[in-house]
Structure 1
């Protein structure tokens, strides 16, 4: 079935796919259907050998302006528990291939949390990022208090979560929340360029390296180093490792096959 709220663009660059959130009238508010469509699209692309990196974007006005409040306003605690909307987020988190967010305009609440699920972030000069749930009498529930704090530190995270303060793109860059800021007309192009550079690497190494970096947020240093070492050794069982090192010795560009 054709998705209603996302658009999938295949091969926008070699081995790069692009998913665009597509609820423009609602500023890409994340309702249950959109999130379900995104989850299924990522599962398909994660299994596609012709895709090594995924770009996720909204439009120039909004990456995603938050969750769909209309879907939640009349819910009880038990309703929210039974819907279990965050199980979809857990599935998205398990995507093995790198995801690069292309962010312009608003990335608020759930939109900011979805952005932070991605592995790298390219933002336009007009990007406004934050967790303003406190203004609705609630708090972040899809990782905002945890991922934001790990990215920008306690002091700034507290201010953003407790007052609803939004960051400009430049402030987010200085805080270490995003990778780079570019002119608005170039934000998607630059994200695809970063994705293409990433996709030129060994897809096996990309997956294991991403896994190791994410492990740093969940383990002690000693456990993380042990995990890193195992993934490092594992790559010496791959054809890509042999090709990469042989190409280096022969002073040529490697041709990685993901094996």
Structure 2
């Protein structure tokens, strides 16, 4: 049934350059800087579901259109949700038999999963990308952060970052572990990923998971605003060229990235009875990904599904 849905989606979407729009992404532009506020009103936890994913895909495609001729030189992402930057992807899409709006694979890049393609395309943008973090970002939420060029966080108990996929029998399939191993070293990456534990903003800044941490929201936004405006002064060709060189040595090769993603989609989840069982337990424990104790404190709550 999942395969049928993907094929049907491909047949319909091949004639359209854009996905449906749901208004979950608000943008404003000034002096070469685009501010993007993520606000998934269909989800209490700013879930990266079809609504937000489609809107982001449309935005990224729009930013890519003019290449280095674009008037936008910097993109700053933030969240309107006080508790979550992005909680994670919609777990339902990995459950056998589920039929939703979002396909597993990207109709325009069929060898990539939909979210894998989205995050890869973010790294491909000619613009500098900055994430402002004031809430939780786990699994695909953290992988979104990894796809951005820079990350700045608020020192707040609301900020919790993690790759929680191993806690349900999966692996970070959109580059999370690969990028982190370059940022915080191999040993620390194993420590945090295999235990599926959170890291707070201050510790994240100390070890390089995020660039910097700020004690107040005003200080955070003031710094990012000044940084973005400074970068935006310079030619986009120079920004894009610098990104290309850094990506060449810090981003996983495309084929490795794709294989890692397909491992989690096919081998560990769709074809795994244990993975399916764990996902269904999580959906039940979270009341289908609603705000509550589990989503707010995933690392401590998830162990309960093993008891």
Q: Which sits farther off after the overlay, 110-119 or 152-161?
A: 152-161
Equivalent pair of 1:29/1:65 in contact (CA under 8 Å):
yes
Q: Does 1:116 align with 2:146?
A: yes
Q: Which residue of 2 aligns with 1:30?
A: 48
Q: 1:58 to 1:152 in 2, by over 3 A?
A: same
Equivalent pair of 1:36/1:88 in contact (CA under 8 Å):
no
C-alpha RMSD of matched pairs (Å)? 2.4
Q: 1:21 to 1:196 in 2, by over 3 A?
A: same
Q: 1:160 to 1:197 in 2, by over 3 A?
A: same
TM-score normalised by L of structure 2? 0.64
Q: Does 1:42 align with 2:65?
A: no
Unpaired runs of at least 5, structure 1 = 220-259
Q: 1:56 to 1:82 in 2, by over 3 A?
A: closer
Query: Whole-Å Cα distance in 1 between the matches of residues 97 and 106 of structure 2?
Result: 11
Q: Which residue of 1 aligns with 2:162?
A: 130
What do residues 107-148 of structure 1 show as CA deviations (whole Å, max 9, x unaligned)?
111010000100011111122111011222222111112111
Segments ≥4 residues shifted beyond 4 Å: 79-83
SS of residue matched to 2:35: strand
What do residues 221-259 of structure 1 show as CA deviations (whole Å, max 9, x unaligned)?
xxxxxxxxxxxxxxxxxxxxxxxxxxxxxxxxxxxxxxx
Higher RCO structure, 1 or 2 (CA under 8 Å, sep 6+) = 2
Query: Whole-Å Cα distance in 2 between the matches of residues 21 and 135 of structure 1?
Result: 26
Equivalent pair of 2:22/2:51 in contact (CA under 8 Å):
no
Equivalent pair of 1:101/1:191 in contact (CA under 8 Å):
no
Unpaired runs of at least 5, structure 2 = 1-19, 108-112, 253-307
Q: Which residue of 1 aligns with 2:36?
A: 19
Q: 1:118 to 1:175 in 2, by over 3 A?
A: same
